[in-house]
Structure 1
Amino acid sequence: MADFEKMKAQMAEGKGFIAALDQSGGSTPKALKLYGVTEDMYDGETAMFDEIHAMRTRIITAPDFTSDKVIGAILFERTMRGTIEGKPVSQVLWEDNGIVPFLKIDKGLEDEADGVQLMKPNPGLEALLKDAEGFGVFGTKERSVIHEANSDGIAAVVAQQFEVGRTVLSCGLVPILEPEVNIKSSTKAEAEAMLKDEIAKHLDTLEDGQDIMLKLSIPTEAGLYDNLADHPRVIRVVALSGGYSTDEACEKLAKQPKMIASFSRALSEGLSKQQSDEEFNAALGSNIDKIYQASI
């Protein structure tokens, strides 16, 4: 990819945050409801995805959605294959806005076992990665969830994340590994300490050039993941909002000097289809500014 090194430098050193625009499947109706679009306002899956695409288009084309504060954006597969004013979305992000495009690649979560939810099997992954490269996508994101401090479960989650990450690397893209720790877990701090150690072990098995990113819940202990951020194989450590409100997520993130935001719900909080463009852009601009300040 012609701009790969330029994108990589922006991810490593850019000031700002990554917008997560990748709600999919079961989370789409919830995201639309928060946006003021209830299930009786669309008929069927195609109409539902048209509504969420319209919402994402409105965000991406808003005046404050530029690389001044937003350095990357994670897309859902349908969004990557969609267009804005006739141009592929990833092209609009990078060529028009200077924002690095990523793709969500996981197919959802398995049922909970050993206190965690692994990713479901992903048989068409390599074909999808080839398509993503064709669209000019820089990297990918894959999510699993840790619900409790269970060493076997956490070891399984991290092993699976790195296994999928190596497939992504072999296809010329940069993986964002996302082993999320549930913010409501009664053993959150203990789970995070285990997760950090497990990730560190796997990082040491990567070779030169096998560079990754990490997307982690904002840890209970300030600076917990600083040593992961400093690892030579880690381009950046980003934080998910995990259900915190925008203000709460930003307040917690500000205590983590080596993490930047990759927020979804906190980015779109307070946005509604019924708002005028002026109201929508003002609300989005306010969220972008709060998240940017917490990230720098």
Structure 2
Amino acid sequence: MQQQQLEKMKNGKGFIAALDQSGGSTPKALAAYGIKEEAYSNEDEMFDLVHEMRTRIITSPAFDSNYILGAILFEQTMDREIEGMYTGDYLAEKKDIVPFLKVDKGLAEESDGVQLMKPIPDLDKLLKRANERHIFGTKMRSVIKDANPEGIKAVVDQQFEIGKQIIAAGLVPIIEPEVDINSPEKEKCEELLKAEILRHLNSLNESELVMLKLTIPTVPNTYKELIEHPNVVRVVALSGGYSRDEANAKLKENDGLIASFSRALSQDLNVNQTDEEFNQALQQAVKSIYEASI
């Protein structure tokens, strides 16, 4: 299964759906879906509602492996079930979609123009559970705001250090050093970031494989060298706050870069839609993101 999934991620046509909002971003995701904060009175109820939303997305006929290669899950979603199966198994077996798990615990305070990841305690235990739940890979996010060489180096060092721990556990890490789309030095950040990533990629041995999730670059095809690197399974793009139309247009300018959108995928979905309306809205989103990705 793992080898088949690796082949699919490397060469398949399509994109990755990011369904991994967690903790602090869950109320925003629910609000965008039409569920206001007064609809739930505690965290358990909130997570029940977000699981219902994700279940509706994943079980929709529009959530189709002809267009979607993989899906990134939040830890709680991995541990919950859809139609009597763990979510990762449902994705892999019923949908032929490769499951990933978000493993970071959020962002630290800004320093040197970047936000590193907070420490990830018990990561080994989480990776063990991910393997038991048949998860293929992981995702972890840091943020770059300024073209500060020390800050950017620290972000990439941290990502690859934890990435190696994930590889050792038999999973494929998605390394995500997001460049803030509003950074006044976005292009310069991307140049520094690319050089740091290349330095790390070139020090990996041939069996150490990673994926990269990057902000769509200001200069099209900036990341061509990363896309073609033998240690990189795939380079995917985050929507980063762009609307879906903007993100799709920018993505089309970059050869070989595919989408891994979250907000841009679900922006037109609403809890009050009929199933027909919901499936149609999701299908339109999926097809437009797929077109931009291929």
User: Normalising by the residue count of structure 1, what TM-score does the alignment of the two structures yield?
Assistant: 0.99
- Name 2:132's counterpart in structure 1: 134
Distance 2:62 2:205 in 1: 38
Distance 1:22 1:267 in 2: 12
1:112 and 2:84 matched = no
**Structure 1 ranges of 4+ moved more than 4 A:** none
Distance 1:234 1:208 in 2: 10
- Name 2:245's counterpart in structure 1: 247
Unaligned segments of structure 1, at least 5 residues = none
Render the CA deviation track for 1:137-169: whole Å, top value 9, x for unaligned: 000000000011100000000000000100000
| 2:161 equivalent among 148, 153, 163 | 163
| 2:228 equivalent among 217, 227, 230 | 230
> What secondary structure is seen at the aligned counterpart in 2 of 1:140?
strand
Q: Counterpart amino acid of 1:201?
A: R
| 1:27 equivalent among 21, 25, 38 | 25
- Name 1:52's counterpart in structure 2: 50
Q: Counterpart amino acid of 1:82?
A: R
Q: Counterpart amino acid of 1:293?
A: E
- Name 2:94's counterpart in structure 1: 96
> What secondary structure is seen at the aligned counterpart in 1 of 2:62?
coil
Q: Counterpart amino acid of 2:254?
A: Q
Render the CA deviation track for 1:182-204: whole Å, top value 9, x for unaligned: 00111000000000000000001
- Name 1:122's counterpart in structure 2: 120
> What secondary structure is seen at the aligned counterpart in 2 of 1:213?
strand
How do 1:137-152 residues align onto structure 2 when only pairs under 5 Å count? 137-152=135-150
1:80 and 2:82 matched = no
* Displacement of 1:66: 1.5
Distance 1:225 1:191 in 2: 13
Q: How many residues align?
A: 294
Distance 1:259 1:38 in 2: 35
Unaligned segments of structure 2, at least 5 residues = none
User: Normalising by the residue count of structure 2, what TM-score does the alignment of the two structures yield?
Assistant: 1.00
* Displacement of 1:258: 1.6
| 2:267 equivalent among 266, 269, 292 | 269
1:67 and 2:65 matched = yes
- Name 1:278's counterpart in structure 2: 276
Render the CA deviation track for 1:219-256: whole Å, top value 9, x for unaligned: 00000001001111000000000011111100000001
> What secondary structure is seen at the aligned counterpart in 1 of 2:143?
strand
- Name 1:8's counterpart in structure 2: 6
Render the CA deviation track for 1:236-294: whole Å, top value 9, x for unaligned: 00000001111110000000112100000000011000100000000000000000000
> What secondary structure is seen at the aligned counterpart in 1 of 2:23?
coil
> What secondary structure is seen at the aligned counterpart in 2 of 1:106?
coil
How do 1:185-204 residues align onto structure 2 when only pairs under 5 Å count? 185-204=183-202
Distance 2:191 2:105 in 1: 27
* Displacement of 1:115: 0.2
Render the CA deviation track for 1:34-65: whole Å, top value 9, x for unaligned: 00000001110000001110000000001011
Distance 2:228 2:104 in 1: 27
RMSD (CA atoms)? 0.4
- Name 1:260's counterpart in structure 2: 258
Distance 1:156 1:288 in 2: 35
> What secondary structure is seen at the aligned counterpart in 1 of 2:139?
strand
> What secondary structure is seen at the aligned counterpart in 2 of 1:262?
strand
